[in-house]
Structure formats: structure tokens, C-alpha cells
Amino acid sequence: MSLYIPKQYRAKLVPEVMEQAIKMIKDRFQLELAAALDLRRVTAPLFVLSGTGINDDLNGVERAVSFPIKDMDGRKAEVVHSLAKWKRMKLGAYGIAPGYGLYTDMNAIRADEELDNLHSLYVDQWDWERTITAEDRNLEFLKMIVTKIYGVYQKMEREIYRIYPHITPVLPETIRFIQSEDLLEQYPTLSPRERENEAAKKYGAIFVIGIGGALSDGKKHDGRAPDYDDWTTPTPGGYKGLNGDIIFWNPVLESAFEVSSMGIRVDKTALLRQLELEGCPERKELAFHKALLEDRIPLSIGGGIGQSRACMFLLRCAHIGEVQSSIWPESQIAECEKHNIYLK
């Protein structure tokens, strides 16, 4: 999205109180998430070695920020995009049983982001991963986990209201599950982003299922790398995909607002199928992919939850730069200041 300026905007909290609220959300949210999903915290890397297949490609085109390591003969390291594969490897390394998992603070740099209300060069997420069984690889299990995460957001919204009663809750009682193919059928003339806007505005909170594969019109709802989320496994009703996005209606920005990308991860069959579909079968020779194909990595479900996005939504901010420090174009800083939006 391009820069959006809400009419007559005023921050709900003054800067010093805003900082206290951000800390409270970041402290409390992770504890609620860990309790809801039976997760334990681990320490995460800021960078990984290039050429191992551990870093994530997101939509497959983003450049990783990289640097040579002097003490390793110039071997290249790259700042993580996310930790989907790394987390799954840690589940195996720690021997975490099905039904339990881990989470971590993930910090990343995404140099190719288009900077606007929602997107920053700096990414801070709670990345989580949970071991599952083969029997858990189904749509109902995915929906159960999504509902638990949604419950955490509802708890946090109520807590914000308790402390700051002028910030009233807006999330509906339940989250609506919608197939990306059904969104296309309902709004065939709209873009994927516009479809999400319509559905989020209608229901308040949605989970769009099946993101990464081509829909009936031959186009993707959105891109996904082929080697972490499963977006090809058939599901009841003739659909495909065991992944999706949690999206809220944002009353400040008057638009759909993605708060989490998540899903059941690929098994061996889905990995090989998706590598072929994306034209990169050679990846199966990389360290992560070989470990998965050799059953040295457990089946899992996982995702990322934006920390700054959570703060931005819960505190009704107009720009992510109100809740995190980053770099912004001078023109954007000036335009925001004209409308009482002050970027850190």
C-alpha cells in the first residue's frame, strides 16, 4: 500500500505512555502465546550461512543482506528473512515432542520493502514452531491453532482496554475462515489485496487459507516460498493448501491488516511437489532439504507474528514508525508530521 493518512488523526497515547504500552504488549503477548500453544522460548540467530537453504526466500525474490566472514575465509553470511526452517531444525535438535514447540524473538532486515504505513526495513516478529504428527496435517488442526492465536489477540485487546479505556476493542467474537479460491469467486474483478479488504471489512477478522499456489484464474493470491508452508496438499471441498494469513480490519487505516503468516509445513511429498512447481528442484540437495527428505526434521506447524504490527493495531497507530525505530524517506517523515504522525 502507498502512504495512507487518516483524517484528523491523533495518537491515542502520548510518546512516553506509548513506550510503556509497547513494552507491556511485547512482554505480555509472548507469554500468552506460549501458554496458548505450549511453547518455550529459545534464542535465535540474527544471521545464517549462505548456501545452506536455512534462510527463507519469502516470495522468492527478496535479497538477503549479506556480508563476508573474515575468520572463515570470506564465507558469506546473510541476515535472516525469517526463521521458518531454522525453527523446524531446532524442534528436531531439542527433541521436542508433538503438541509442544518453541518461539523466539526474530529480528530481520528487508532491504527490498516498499516503505509505507505497514512496511519497514526492520522486521521484529515472534517466530514460533510446534511439532505435530502426520495425523495433524489437516485443515481442522490448522483452524484450531489459528483460533488459539486469535484468542491471544482478543486477550491483549481487552487488557489494553482495561489500562487505557479510551482504546475500545474492535475484534469480533470469532475469526472467519475463508479459502483464497472462494475470495476469487466472490470478487472476480478485484485484486487479491482488494478481496482481502472486502472480506476483512465484512467480518472484522479473517484467516485466508491456501496462499502460494495458482488459483482457478491461473494467478496466485500471494507468493510463498516452496520449502516451508504447504500450499499444495488437497483439502476437503476441492481446495488446496494448509497455510494462510490472519488478517484484521484496521479501523484507523480503513483497510485489511495482516498480523500473521503461518501454516502447516511441507512434508517430503509436498516439498518435492512444490520445488518442481516453482522450478527449483535442485534445492533438494541443500542441507535443510536433505535433512527433511531423510526424516531428520520433524513435521511441524509454525508462523510469524509481527511485534510492531501487534503494537500498531492494539494501540490504534496509523504508521508502524510510531512503534518502532527505523529509517524512513525524508519526504514520508515530513508528510506524516503534517498530519500528527510522528515517526521514531
CATH code at position 134: 3.30.930.10
Q: How many domains does the chain have?
A: 1
Nearest residue to 287 via CA among 88, 41, 59, 97: 88
Average pLDDT over the chain, rounded to whole?
Answer: 93
pLDDT the model gives residue 344: 80
- Please report which residue ranges of the chain form alpha helices under DSSP H: 15-37, 84-94, 139-163, 180-186, 192-203, 268-277, 287-293, 307-314, 330-338
Higher pLDDT pick, 24 / 61: 24
Taking the C-alpha atoms of residue 126 and residue 26, their distance in angstroms, rounded to an integer, is: 9
Nearest residue to 127 via CA among 64, 21, 55: 55
Higher pLDDT pick, 287 / 160: 160
High-pLDDT (> 70) share of the chain, %: 97
pLDDT the model gives residue 49: 83
Residue 89, in any domain of the structure: yes
Residue 2, in any domain of the structure: no
Residue 4, in any domain of the structure: no
60 pLDDT exceeds 60? no
46 pLDDT exceeds 60? yes
Residue 124, in any domain of the structure: yes
pLDDT the model gives residue 48: 82
Taking the C-alpha atoms of residue 69 and residue 76, their distance in angstroms, rounded to an integer, is: 6
Residue 313, in any domain of the structure: yes
- Please report which residue ranges of 111-240 form alpha helices under DSSP H: 139-163, 180-186, 192-203
pLDDT tier at 157 (50, 70, 90 boundaries)?
very high
Eight-state DSSP code of residue 286: S
| Order of strands across the sheet that contains 176-179 | 39-41, 101-109, 122-131, 300-306, 255-264, 243-250, 205-209, 176-179
pLDDT the model gives residue 70: 87
Structural domain that includes position 130:
15-338
pTM across the whole model: 0.93
59 pLDDT exceeds 90? no
- The residues annotated with a catalytic role in the active site are 56, 110, 125, 245, 258, 261
pLDDT the model gives residue 57: 57
Residue 5, in any domain of the structure: no
Residue 83, in any domain of the structure: yes
Residue 126, in any domain of the structure: yes
pLDDT the model gives residue 79: 85
C-alpha cell at 333: 517523515
